[in-house]
């Protein structure tokens, strides 16, 4: 192999295992528990399901924002999440700390038309630390602990591939 070849770094997510791994050249750099959609896997607009298949990171949002920064419409609100804020806004979908906005790569499956991941605003993002990981509970996104999403954000670039699979991760 050419010693100057750029190593390949990619993310794989298992809906069955509620896990996210960041892999580089066959080595696991990050392996964390996440929470995917409460409604299970699916690609249809409005389904609040987690889309399957091949994706890439289209945008990175929130660089250098403090942990627990609250985002609405991909913009920081100026709020910092606290349990009292959740009590004040119990129905808010909490998107915190960092956002990795996904775009599908498979036309007809997760790209274009009524199955377009990016138009569905599907992200990998932080969430309140009292949200349980390992249990499907999101509105379609992949939720992570704030410390984990900061680590992931700092290790990936726009264009990083993301494979979301229904079954278990390969060993």
Tens digits of per-residue pLDDT, 115-168? 999 999 999 999 999 999 999 999 999 999 999 999 999 999 999 999 999 999
Q: What is the pTM of this model?
A: 0.94
Closest C-alpha to 55, from 149, 133, 122, 137: 122
* In contact, 76 and 62? CB cutoff 8 Å: yes
Beta-strand relationship, 161-165 and 53-61: antiparallel
Q: Domain spans of the chain?
A: 9-165
Q: Indicate the CATH number for domain 9-165.
A: 2.40.440.10
Maximum separation of any 2 CA atoms in the chain, in Å: 57
Query: In angstroms, rounded to a whole number, what is the distance separating the alpha carbons of residues 56 and 37?
Result: 19
């Amino acid at each position: 192999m050419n010693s100057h070849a750029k190593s390949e770094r990619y993310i794989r997510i298992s809906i069955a295992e509620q896990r996210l791994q960041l892999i580089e050249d066959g080595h696991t750099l990050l392996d964390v528990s996440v929470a995917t959609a409460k409604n299970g896997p699916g690609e249809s607009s409005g389904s609040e399901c987690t889309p399957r298949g091949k994706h890439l990171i289209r945008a990175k949002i929130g660089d250098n924002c403090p942990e627990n920064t609250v985002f609405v419409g991909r913009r920081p609100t100026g709020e910092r999440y606290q349990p009292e804020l959740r009590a004040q806004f119990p129905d808010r979908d909490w998107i915190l700390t960092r956002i990795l906005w996904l775009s599908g790569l498979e036309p007809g499956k997760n790209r274009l038309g009524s199955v377009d991941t990016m138009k569905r605003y599907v992200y990998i993002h932080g969430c309140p630390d009292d949200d349980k990981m390992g249990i499907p509970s999101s509105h379609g996104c992949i939720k992570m602990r704030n410390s984990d999403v900061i680590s992931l954000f700092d290790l990936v670039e726009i264009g990083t591939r993301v494979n979301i699979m229904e079954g278990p991760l390969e060993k």
